[in-house]
Structure 1
Amino acid sequence: MSRIPQPAFRRKALFSAIVCATLPAVVAAQDSEPTALEAISVTAERSQASSESTGSYTSGATTTSMKMELGHRETPQAVTVVTRQQMDDFAQNDINDVLEGTTGVTVESVETDRTYYTSRGFDINNFQYDGVGLPAVYDNVQGELDTAFFDRVEVVRGANGLMSGTGNPSATVNFIRKRPTADTNASVAVTGGSWDKKRIVGDLSGSVSESGAVRGRVVAGYEDKDSYLDRYSNEKQMFYGVLEADLTDTTLLTLGHSTQTSDTDSPLWGALPLFYTDGTATDYARSTSTASDWSYWDNTQHNSFVELQQELAGGWRAKGTVFRLENDSESELFYQYGTPDAETEEGLLAYPSQYDLNVEQWVVDTYATGPFNLGNRTHELVLGASWSRSETVDESRYGQGIGNPLPPLNEWDGNYPRPAFDNGVAGSDWTDRETATYAAGRWSLTDSLTAITGLRLTWLDSKGESYGLTKETSYDAVDTPYAGLIYDLNDDHSVYASYTEIFTPQTELDVNRDRLDPIDGVNYELGLKSEFLQDRVNTTVALFQTEQQNVAEAVGTFPGTQDAFYRGVDGVESQGVELEFVGDVTDRIQLFAGYTYVDIEDSDGNSAKSFVPEHLAQLRGTWKVPGIEGLKLGSKVRWQSSISQEQGVATAGPNAGATIVTEQDSYAVLDLMASYDFARDWNATLNVNNVTDEKYIESLKKFGTSAQGFYGEPANASLTVSWVY
């Protein structure tokens, strides 16, 4: 069935037609001599330079916002790039570590092995691998996604529907994988740390053939660690192999595959209760865990891809990618629900369950890009199409003893009999399909003024059911237009403006168990981008505003369940400012600084999503100590303002009937590092995290009867010894 919101569709089509019709006329009106756009390479380069080859905190061109390689000042949106050097300096070994240090991104760890991400107040569900968009089945990541395979991570904030399907106004996260090198390179890094952490990663790259026409790379790793949480432990195994072959002087074939397992014993499913029945806040030891001693959560990800790139005449390039991602999850989990009594600490109940999940996704993406002349000027064009299919199958097998009373958490040691999981079965089996065509142009209007316009047409189709409810929806030819302007004030500074429309299908259910209609809205951004010290330092000042209609808002739970139902709310606005400074300040000092202010309001002008911090700041840097060759010192601090969440009303004590509000005061987490090249090709790096031993709740995203959370890591340390050839 077709559920396209007709008024919004007509408005989008009209806007797109105006943009496409007017730009060629503007360009044709220019009578200057043909001018090539600066910093855009149209020669037969195999690929852009990797960040690991530079050792820098800045990166070259990015492709996340569109398939063109755009420099810092050429992209009319705020972009953060976390390079390999930053990851290595501060032992950012999983994606949570990386995104936690990214401007404007909040990592919502609601459990140990399931994580949500937000930017500008909204969930991030646009992810890419090497610029190829991957439809999100769920708005979360299960298990720990290791960074050993990645050269860098690019994050474009704001709506990016042109390259990632629907226009979600949060951010797009692009994982850029390591690629083979022509020269032989090898490294081994061994890490030991707090809570019996053990880690080893090996990386070998070089030419496979004598001519260098075939190149390969292998990355393999293993990690095993316990935790500050009682009974919790995690074991990871990682493998990544990639092969490049120059079939001709202009044809490049790339084959790659990666596998990662993340096996956890005694994980948190849910977390700790945040308040008592009288409304007062709980305050457990950081090590407290609700997990049983038999529970586990094993996640495996298989990621395969084939790329064929062809250089064409006139500086054009065509590329096709076939990409397969499979996620398998097997678990036996133990959840504790209910609200404890403030005096007796009793009141929690058992909820054991087995849960299996399999998600298989195929993506095919093809495009061509290159320059063309119009109106005596040189412009660039991207034309492409994509297709994807996501098949999701999961099954919940409920355990005996659901609702059994449990001892107080301060007496809980995880000792609970493993039940039979034959108390009912439910699950899902559905398929999402998406087909899209897209086009984008980069128009040289004058020597100083550049415009970028784009349009994506998307067909979405879902069939199947989830826990007895239909998943059947269909949207035809939904258009997502994009427009941006960049004006170069001089050789070092540019101002920009961009506009993107939003169309985001929702999976949330209303009180009648019907899916909510899609979110519709617009995203605006204004900014100033600058480059200093011969482009070694980049800065960004961005002002943004997002207006959305029919945003899901939880209003209750279905009777007899913990599952929330929602309503669509109109007039939700997010606005704010982002500041970023990144670069190699001197030959000895590297810095990254980011600050975000975001204000989220509902249609009545009241504050919304109070669990998202209004203020978020990061600062990290390293200093090569003069006089002591090979010694580098560094620090990293992450600060956020206070957050809160309304949790319903107190049911006992003098505050019975009063609204319960859980609060987390503002806090800062300070990390330190020291690195020393103690011999040729050898390095030792010490990382000390949360040196002030700050105690804080990881997330307040969950609310009401599901209101649970747990505490972040206390002070800890790790030492990495690496050999690099």
Structure 2
Amino acid sequence: MRGALAGGVWAVMAAAQVVHAQEAQVQFDIAAQPLANALGAFGQQARQQVLFDEADVAGRSARAVRGSLSPRQALEQLLAGSGVAIAGAKAGGFALKALPPAQKQSLDHSLESVTVTANQLGEITEGTGSYTPGTIATATRLVLAPRETPQSISVITRQEMDDFNLRAIDDVMRHTPGVSTVTYDTERTEYYARGFSINEFQYDGIPMTRNSRYSAGNTLSDMAIYDRVEVLKGATGLLTGAGNPGATINLIRKKPTKDFQGHATLGAGSWDNYRGELDISGSLNTSGSVRARAVAAHQDKKSYMDHYQRKTDMLFGTLEADLSPNTLLTIGADYQNSAPKGSTWGGIRLFDSAGNFNAVPRSFNNGARWAHWDQSTKTAFATLEHHFSNGWVGKVQFNHQINGYDSELGSPNGYMMYPDRATGAGVTMAGWMGQYRGDVKSNALDAYLSGPFSLLGREHELVVGASVSRQELAGENHWQPASYDVSVPNYYAWDGNIAKPDWYLARLVNETTRQSGVYGTARFNLRDDLKLILGSRVSNYDYVYTYAAPGTAAVPTNKKESGVVVPYMGLVYDLSSHWSLYASHTSIFQPQSNEDAGGARLDPLKGNSYEVGAKSQFFNGRLNTSLAYFETHQDNFAQRTSGRTPSGGAAYRAVDGVVTKGVDAEVSGKLTENWQLHAGYTHKVARRDGAKVTTIEPEDQFHLYTSYQWGGSLRGLTTGAGARWQGKSWDDVNHPTNGYSRFTMPSYWLVDLMASYRVNKNLMASVHINNAFDKKYHTLMSIYDVYSWGEPRSVSVSMRYDF
């Protein structure tokens, strides 16, 4: 399958040709960045070939370009002051040359001021029509093309989200190669990569750690406000401090546009799923120096599960102001509220009393009818960015976020209880009832300088910065009184119709996490074809957890680390103008929330992550490929045991010497002018002393999503399809007759279909079919020996009107 895919990709790429008119108006949005990267972005957005000698552009910087311009106008603005000029042009492309020093100096004195509109996060994907990014900055703060980044990264662009109706972050993660999902319940999903759960989120590059026990909105994020989602694979401690060895998810917000634009969307789908969305953007003054954007969305949906429904509201606003030709201020806020009814808690009991798989209908809802898990997210953010005359950029970012949760939950999921297949007896709600309220307040500040410097006759790049963050969870746990009847006479007749208890306050919970650090990254231009990236972070980490019954003394748990050094090294060698080889290494430092049988938290996970691979870039960056081999070596690895913690959770023990090895392969972008593809394959195995560990995530995964824009008599029609396959996975669970033993989940395929038709330049109609063959599959939540059914086949239709 891999050979056939690769052969087809290379054959089509060899035949692809790009021809565009040179004077047609194109919407450009190119950040100020190294010239070579900017030219790649120009080629992608203008659909033009740009020919140049790499030595002519090495070490030079490009100005930001934004607005509706002809390709020639945009290229001239991009090259202004760089010392490189257009040498010739013909249909489909431009040729460039370096200017003599005297001519460059003359041009520098006559330059007009150029308004700064970049935000050092990489290139915007909205409007590019592409499934691959131009440049990204998630790995090192350096704005680099994917080929120049010595680490695996998957990006779901705005175009891919729109084509496949990816409206929630769960949808995006299911489309991301190398990422698998486990459903905990109706309001919580856990993501996994390279054998580890992903709890590190970033918003415009600012880290925010998710607490999966008290989930508060992170995995319910609405995608209407984001330009793209970047998933950086492997350890990420250089910028995040506490670096997850699996992956980090970076959500990049949409930016305002200078020209007025907007769209309104209405949709409907299976199980009374209704959604509306409005997105408006443009300038607030005649010069375009102040720009704003507002997005609103509302969704009201029911489910294939009995007595479950959810209403979600989302608001977003952001404003950009050019304080001077070289200074950009960005401020904004967003709000999202999710209000479900009939929420489940955990999944379905995995076994019946005879030890057989406890198969129930997919419509089975284990939650009480009054159960709910409301989650809200409120965010305010600000960024100040200044471009100095010497090519350096200074940036300060602040992010304030409040994630709130308010839940009342009840479920017949008593631990180590198994229903009798004939009578349904044997399961109660003991331990699975509660009212939980609280919020997580997070503040993060990051400041850095980035720019070129000269050494030994060559120009290089440097980033130096510092960050500080504080995250505090304050919650209340309420339980049902002892007099409340938790019995469930017949598990298989459960319909959630049970009286709600009168809760009492049982426990106060507080978690405070403080992190600070300084970091630096240098990209050394050793030769025109060889780049060395060296970086390091010195981190401080302080975690305090307390819980107590009302009126009693708190019981604190503290974990503190100071002066933790997290090094980073990457090497990229260009084999040709299309292919590169790379290698990278970074350390792992990840504090853990897992507890041992005595209730003590495990020491931080530590180790090293290694990666080597090859990357390629074709059609001026419109098609990217990568192939990587990775290894992670870990100590203090959390291995689940058959025991429980004092609070009833799964108990873990820390083990050393766990080694994970695997490969990642990915291709994304345009194979031809009308054909888009995003595909990937991942294989990984984790072992300790020869025995496999971390098996809840499948060892093999394959993703393929593709779309085609038709021409001729079918002009305006786009059709697409996607397929996801994951191999079998297993984990040790408690079995009623075999004790603590292995349970295996079989492999499965899922297929999605889509079609859209542009009626005219303003109106487009779409239809989407998910799980087209109605595959019946489930995911395993092994820590409580429960499972959840995957969603059956669903159909949705929508209409979009562009202003």
Q: Does 1:623 align with 2:708?
A: yes
- Write out per-residue CA displacement over residues 202-247 of structure 1, whole angstroms, 9 at most, x where no aligned residue: 0000000111110000000100000001111010000000001111
Q: Does 1:417 align with 2:417?
A: no
- What SS does structure 1 have at the residue aligned with 2:378? strand
Q: Per the alignment, do residues 257 and 498 of structure 1 end up closer, same or farther by CA in structure 2, a change over 3 Å counting?
A: same
Higher relative contact order (CA 8 A, sep 6+): 1
Per-residue deviation at 1:408? 2.7
- What SS does structure 2 have at the residue aligned with 1:100? helix
TM-score with structure 1 length normalisation? Answer: 0.91
Q: Distance in 2 between matches of 1:242 and 1:560?
A: 46
Structure 1: gaps of 5 or more residues:
1-32, 651-655
Per-residue deviation at 1:555? 1.4
Backbone CA RMSD of aligned residues: 1.8
1:458-537 alignment, distance < 5 Å: 458-466=539-547, 469-537=555-623
Among candidates 241, 245, 252, match of residue 169 of structure 1: 245
Q: Distance in 2 between matches of 1:72 and 1:107?
A: 25
Q: Does 1:61 align with 2:141?
A: no
Where does residue 702 of structure 1 map in the other structure?
782
Among candidates 372, 375, 379, match of residue 456 of structure 2: 375
Q: Distance in 2 between matches of 1:649 and 1:714?
A: 28
Where does residue 699 of structure 2 map in the other structure?
614
Q: Does 1:109 align with 2:183?
A: yes
- What SS does structure 1 have at the residue aligned with 2:444? strand
Among candidates 118, 123, 126, match of residue 192 of structure 2: 118
The residue type paired with residue 329 of structure 2 is L
Q: Distance in 1 between matches of 2:409 and 2:455?
A: 62
The residue type paired with residue 463 of structure 1 is V
Among candidates 234, 251, 272, match of residue 310 of structure 2: 234
Q: Per the alignment, do residues 231 and 55 of structure 1 end up closer, same or farther by CA in structure 2, a change over 3 Å counting?
A: same
Identity %: 37
Per-residue deviation at 1:68? 1.2
Contact 2:596 2:645 in 1 (8 A): no
The residue type paired with residue 218 of structure 1 is A
Contact 1:180 1:217 in 2 (8 A): yes
Q: Per the alignment, do residues 681 and 657 of structure 1 end up closer, same or farther by CA in structure 2, a change over 3 Å counting?
A: closer
Contact 2:59 2:452 in 1 (8 A): no
Q: Distance in 2 between matches of 1:633 and 1:475?
A: 53
Where does residue 6 of structure 1 map in the other structure?
none
Where does residue 689 of structure 1 map in the other structure?
770
Q: Distance in 1 between matches of 2:703 and 2:294?
A: 33
Per-residue deviation at 1:609? 1.9
Where does residue 17 of structure 1 map in the other structure?
none
TM-score with structure 2 length normalisation? Answer: 0.83
Q: Distance in 1 between matches of 2:55 and 2:776?
A: 61
Where does residue 279 of structure 1 map in the other structure?
355
Where does residue 490 of structure 2 map in the other structure?
408
Q: Distance in 2 between matches of 1:298 and 1:657?
A: 38
Contact 1:207 1:216 in 2 (8 A): yes
- What SS does structure 2 have at the residue aligned with 1:88? helix
Moved over 6 A (4+): none
Where does residue 451 of structure 1 map in the other structure?
532
Q: Per the alignment, do residues 109 and 469 of structure 1 end up closer, same or farther by CA in structure 2, a change over 3 Å counting?
A: farther
The residue type paired with residue 711 of structure 1 is W
Per-residue deviation at 1:73? 1.0
Contact 1:42 1:316 in 2 (8 A): no
Q: Does 1:340 align with 2:416?
A: no
Per-residue deviation at 1:38? 6.7
- Write out per-residue CA displacement over residues 650-682 of structure 1, whole angstroms, 9 at most, x where no aligned residue: 3xxxxx346553332110111100100123310
Per-residue deviation at 1:345? 2.3
- What SS does structure 1 have at the residue aligned with 2:236? coil
1:635-650 alignment, distance < 5 Å: 635-650=721-736
Q: Per the alignment, do residues 489 and 140 of structure 1 end up closer, same or farther by CA in structure 2, a change over 3 Å counting?
A: farther
Q: Distance in 2 between matches of 1:610 and 1:409?
A: 30
Contact 1:359 1:393 in 2 (8 A): yes
- What SS does structure 2 have at the residue aligned with 1:413? coil
1:120-519 alignment, distance < 5 Å: 120-138=194-212, 141-143=215-217, 144-336=220-412, 337=414, 338-350=417-429, 351-400=432-481, 404-422=486-504, 425-466=506-547, 469-519=555-605
The residue type paired with residue 301 of structure 2 is K
The residue type paired with residue 390 of structure 2 is G
- What SS does structure 2 have at the residue aligned with 1:110? strand
Q: Distance in 2 between matches of 1:588 and 1:311?
A: 37
Structure 2: gaps of 5 or more residues:
1-53, 65-113, 549-553
- Write out per-residue CA displacement over residues 565-611 of structure 1, whole angstroms, 9 at most, x where no aligned residue: 22101111111001101111112111111110011112x21111222
The residue type paired with residue 713 of structure 1 is E
1:77-96 alignment, distance < 5 Å: 77-96=151-170
Q: Distance in 2 between matches of 1:252 and 1:184?
A: 20
Per-residue deviation at 1:60? 0.8
Q: Per the alignment, do residues 306 and 511 of structure 1 end up closer, same or farther by CA in structure 2, a change over 3 Å counting?
A: same
Where does residue 720 of structure 1 map in the other structure?
798
Q: Per the alignment, do residues 56 and 202 of structure 1 end up closer, same or farther by CA in structure 2, a change over 3 Å counting?
A: same
Q: Per the alignment, do residues 80 and 39 of structure 1 end up closer, same or farther by CA in structure 2, a change over 3 Å counting?
A: farther
Per-residue deviation at 1:342? 3.1
1:552-591 alignment, distance < 5 Å: 552-558=638-644, 562-591=648-677
- What SS does structure 2 have at the residue aligned with 1:99? helix
Per-residue deviation at 1:558? 3.7
Q: How many residues of Structure 1 are paired with residues of Structure 2 in the alignment?
A: 683
The residue type paired with residue 208 of structure 2 is L
Per-residue deviation at 1:39? 8.8
Q: Per the alignment, do residues 163 and 623 of structure 1 end up closer, same or farther by CA in structure 2, a change over 3 Å counting?
A: same
Per-residue deviation at 1:510? 2.0
Q: Distance in 2 between matches of 1:668 and 1:41?
A: 45
- What SS does structure 2 have at the residue aligned with 1:53? coil
